[in-house]
Structure 1
Amino acid sequence: MVKYSEVIVLKDKLANGEIRLEAAQAQFWNDFKEGQRSWHTKDWHERRSQFIKDKCEICGSNDTLTLQHLSHPIRYSEYLRDITREYANQHINTNPVVDKYEFSNYVLNKYDYVPVPFCPNCNNSNPDKRVRKLPQYRCTACRHEFDNPVYRSVDELISIFFDNKDAMEVRDKCFISKDEWGNKHNLSNIRYWFQREQAKNKDAEKIAKEAFLLYLNDTIKYLSFDDTITACKKCAFHFDINKMDLCPKCKQYYKGLQYPTCIQCLPEERRKTVLESIAFRKDWREMNQQPGMD
């Protein structure tokens, strides 16, 4: 795992074009092992002593002190997703016209089509299918009764979509992606993913570089200890795992980070209401966990 100073140098080289993205990524992830953490490294322990204080900044204790980060870096894949989305939106705004032939090929190659029945009178989809009464179908929109619903081919739906993207016939999610996820989409959804892929293919290297630079900046911030506080083991656990810190009013009970005080320090009427709500939710959970409850 690369050292803090090495990450800074690597980021500057990549930003200035002194090293290619592939080489920078290979250098950064060189010798990286699954489950390895920054705080296990020698570099971390050597620099840690320069920042850690002699007591917990939350409760004042000096028992088993650690450096608690107030924020954590997000994954490179998340940066890559966000930057790709930005480029896709920019591409869509600057290239609103989609080639019908290319779009049709994309749909046929990427999706399986499950035909949807339409009312022959009003084109509303998915009419009610009756078992005993004839005619077999009844439209829920116009109340028209019929035996033979209308089915559209993929080409017909695409033609309708290009004429009117808000047409009733193209609203249904009747296309299932052929990937492992099997997501259901309508043609409007597919158009976005088609244009997103175009943007991604066009600017793949720029997208990856921007995302990796953001990731390196985030990593540098994390390794720098700039956004850390000294905390005892108990306060660090509550902060990191339970998202809680010590109540500033009583300095005795822990509270959620989003709240100004703990429950015990609330005004009497407010405290009573909150405790009743907590008790109700607890009883409700216990009741639902009893045998025979669905």
Structure 2
Amino acid sequence: MTEWSDFEWVVWRLEVQDPSQLAGEDPDLDERTKETMTELAGSLGCVYEHCVDTDTYSDGTPYYAWWVRLPAAEHARHDKDGIPQALGPLRQYLTTQLPDGLKWEITPDREYTVDHAGSTAMRTAYDDLIAPFERALIPLRRDGADALDPRAKVWKWEADLLVGTFDLWLCNDPDRPHTWLVVTVGLWTEPQLFDEEPAARLGHFDFTPHHPLLFLPRPPGPVTFTARAESGPFPDKSSSRTKAADAIAAAHQWTANDPAVLAERVAHDLKLLWPHLTGPERS
């Protein structure tokens, strides 16, 4: 198993259990703590990730949890209880937002740590594809999409293969309420791309053979790149695809052998398909 010292960043989870719901039925901790946690973590050289405040354990016990990403140096600076010193001020702040008497559990989160490392490696490996799309599409974002950072995400892990996507939230679909238009870029894939059980390998997480995917290790060239603009109920960064076929409102796809050409073509066509992308921000 990989040691913590192998990671440049380690994600820690700060959790409290509230079996008696002392914080109330709707504590709204995510919104109430987001700004302060972001600023405080940043001042400590760390990165605040997110919070969950509506989940329960299988026995029905409510819990609230916050995830914070620490650089390796801060992860290694422990207090007498073995907790990174940088988490002290964060926990102290959170106690001011919670009732007394709740049980705390503060632990490193291996799943999130490995996920971040894999996603960072994937983004680095495909910078020649991702960078042109960010330059072309980030200026077009509307409707609060600028609050959702573009994301390289590993969805499938195997011993010798990582499969992921790169997603960029563009705007709300003006023709369908409560849906995002998300642009995904990657490689054009065929079922025979891999010799070993190709359907099973590509079918996991509902990937279809022509869905834009990123692979590590990166397949040797030449390759065909593809971009897909799709609208659907993608509520947040933990989900970029819908599983129900009828959930997709619109889908458009492009291919090219040159990432810069592909990005230019996609940006041009998106402006024609959704003219409001080139107009002033709607209030």
The structure richer in strand per residue is: 2
TM-score, normalised via structure 2 length: 0.19
* Greater helix fraction, Structure 1 or Structure 2: 1
- Structure whose alpha-carbon radius of gyration is higher: 1
TM-score norm. by structure 1 comes to 0.18
